[in-house]
Amino acid sequence: MREAGRSNLSTVHAPLVPEPVDDLPAGHWLGSVVPKRHARRSVTRSLLKRQIRAVASRHAAHLPPGLWLVRLRAPFAAPGFVSAASSALRDAARSELELLFTRAAP
């Protein structure tokens, strides 16, 4: 049996004031969201995430430091691409990402 006044919680020695969450990192942190409903095949989702990382790393020098999130908001038109990982899809994604990152730079 447990004693009445004793606590075995791991948070007993936790600081009373938590670390601030508003402090921005000194560098660039990149997140990418490619939902399954917009890119059904994992090959396509992986291709898009690789393109996001590649374009973001090329534009990192021109972007202010902080947290960056790239989210696919709408699906690519599947009939326009031969396969889930076609060169045409890669080129289309890269050109759109180039435009977005260029506009995001101050």
Alpha carbon 54 to its chain centroid, in Å, reads 12
Q: Is residue 7 part of a domain?
A: no
Reported as a pLDDT band with limits 50, 70 and 90, residue 4 is low
The string of pLDDT tens digits covering residues 27-56 is 889 999 999 999 988 999 999 999 999 999
Domain of residue 61: give its range.
28-104
The string of pLDDT tens digits covering residues 56-84 is 999 999 998 888 999 999 987 777 888 88
- So what's the pLDDT on residue 53? 97
pTM reported for the whole predicted model: 0.75
In the chain, the number of structural domains is 1
Q: Is residue 22 part of a domain?
A: no
Q: Is residue 3 part of a domain?
A: no
Q: Is residue 16 part of a domain?
A: no
Q: Is residue 80 part of a domain?
A: yes
Distance CA 69, CA 29 (A): 8
